[in-house]
Every structure is written in C-alpha cells, then in structure tokens.
C-alpha cells in the first residue's frame, strides 16, 4: 500500500485524527485545506486523494487472503453507436459466469459505475446510460463504487474498503480494456494488490491514433492486455479462473 501519512496537516498544522488527503509524494493535508486548494498539492502539483481513517494507510500484515471482483463501467452508455465496433461480444455473459461462482464463495463484489456531472454525457447520473446493463446479475448486497475519472481508486473509497475487508487479490472485469480497466488495474497493482484481468470478460472499442490511423477493437484489446501482462496483472480467461478459483492468491 506504501503511503504513510504524517500526523498533522502540512498547511495549518492541525492534528490529523480523522481522514486525511495525500498526494503521490506523501504531502498530507486536512480536508478543509484540501478543499481550499481544489485537491491540488501546493508543493508538487499532484492530486490530493482521501485516505483511510486515523491518518495512516492500514497495514496489511495479517492478510486474510480474501478476494474481490470488480465489474467496471458495464453501463448502458456503452450500448450507444457512437463508440463504434466492439470486441468480445460475450464479455457480459462471462462476467455473469464469474459473478455466479463469486457469490457461491460469498466473496465481495464491487460494481463500479462512471458518474458524470455533465447533462450531455451518456454517463450523466440522471441518464439511462448511467445505469448498469440489465443483463448483468447485480445484487442488492453488491458494493457500489462511483467514480468520475478512469481509475476506480481516485476519489473513491475502493482502496480503504478493500483493506477493511482484508482483500489481497483483485479480479478485474468490465469496460473498456484500454481505459478504465487498464487504469484501475495499474493502480491496483501499484497499491500492492495481487491483480488479475479476465481477458474475455473485458472488451474494447476500435480507436484512432493521433495520425488518424484506425486500430480495430481486437487489436486495441490485445495490445492493452499486453501492456498489463506480468507488469501489472496476471491475464487469465474465464475458463481458467473458474477452473482454478480455489488457487487464487
């Protein structure tokens, strides 16, 4: 997990007995000072992110070995034709297969939803696109994480909830492979969680680069996974995951 917070705000020197905000360089501030600085660290210009209670990142010396499943951004917004070609048409079906096994194990499920404050966005919280696709087997006891950027960890309680429940392994599914899945996976790994990506339970859309060269969805998907493989995550299929579910660590 890595980041140890100081016991006092670096701006006003108030004791940090509750929550605190910290940047990637470990500059630490209280909530009031953080809000006054618009969440930007005055020392290094980095983003200030809320961390768990008591001013310290909880130490996971006695990990329980618990596992969590992330289902990222599987929302109606991605049904819109504006996105173009998508690969892995069975991704949602595979997610449900994993969800079924996960629930049999009574492991934690986190449904991550992208939430936009802009009425014109397909992900606007009052728009149908914000809602999770009906084909996904969502349950009332699933934990809901709302995010406003690519990473499921930024300005959310995901990290602290994983730690609170003793979770050491994170299995990632959802949309899209090069964007919110990839960003979340990289941060999950950097935060110290054993991270998996289920290759046929995530999907990508075709993209154009800065030179207007088009890359089809399968290519974008494959290269996105290649950039994660071994460096940030273990890439597995739904079949491999289900067959080895008790071997996850």
C-beta neighbour count of 225 within 10 angstroms: 20
> What is the pTM for the complete model shown?
0.76
Query: pLDDT value at position 43?
Result: 82
Q: What is the pLDDT along the chain (249 residues), one digit of tens a residue?
A: 333 444 688 888 887 765 678 876 678 888 888 888 888 888 877 777 766 543 333 444 444 578 999 999 999 999 999 999 999 999 999 999 999 999 999 999 999 999 999 999 999 998 999 999 999 999 999 999 999 999 999 999 999 999 989 999 999 999 999 999 999 999 999 999 999 999 999 999 999 999 999 999 999 999 999 999 999 999 999 999 999 998 887
Query: pLDDT value at position 54?
Result: 36
Helix (H), strand (E), coil (C) string for the chain: CCCCCCCECCCCCCECCCCEEECCCCCEECHHHHHHCCCECCCCCCECEEECHHHCCCCCCCCCCEEEEEEECCEHHHHCHHHCCECCCCHHHHHHHHHHHHHHHCCEEEEEEECECCCCCCCECCCHHHCECCCCCCCCCCEEEEECCCCCCCCCCHHHHHHHCCEEEEEEEEECHHHHHHHHHHHHHHCCCEEEEEEEEEECECEECCCCCEECHHHHHHHHHHHHECCCEEEECHHHHHHCHHHCC
């Amino acid at each position: 997990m890595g980041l140890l917070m100081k016991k006092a705000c670096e701006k006003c020197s108030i004791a940090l007995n509750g929550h605190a905000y910290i940047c990637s360089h470990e500059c630490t501030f209280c909530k009031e000072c953080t809000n006054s600085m618009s969440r930007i660290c005055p020392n290094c210009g980095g983003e200030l992110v809320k961390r768990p209670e008591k001013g310290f990142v909880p130490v996971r010396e006695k990990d329980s070995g618990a596992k969590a499943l992330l289902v990222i951004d599987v929302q109606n917004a991605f049904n819109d034709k504006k996105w173009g070609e998508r690969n892995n048409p069975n991704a949602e079906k595979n997610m449900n297969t994993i969800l079924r096994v996960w629930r049999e194990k009574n492991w934690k499920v986190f449904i991550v939803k992208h939430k936009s404050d802009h009425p014109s966005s397909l992900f606007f919280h009052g728009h149908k696109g914000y809602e999770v696709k009906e084909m996904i087997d969502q349950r009332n006891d699933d934990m809901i994480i709302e995010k406003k950027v690519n990473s499921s960890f930024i300005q959310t309680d995901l990290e602290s909830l994983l730690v609170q429940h003793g979770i050491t392994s994170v299995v990632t599914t959802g949309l899209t492979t090069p964007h919110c899945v990839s960003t979340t996976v990289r941060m999950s790994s950097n935060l110290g969680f054993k991270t998996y990506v289920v290759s046929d339970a995530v999907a990508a859309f075709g993209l154009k680069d800065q030179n207007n060269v088009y890359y089809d969805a399968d290519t974008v998907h494959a290269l996105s996974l290649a950039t994660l493989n071994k460096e940030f995550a273990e890439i597995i299929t739904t079949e491999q995951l289900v067959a080895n579910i008790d071997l996850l660590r």
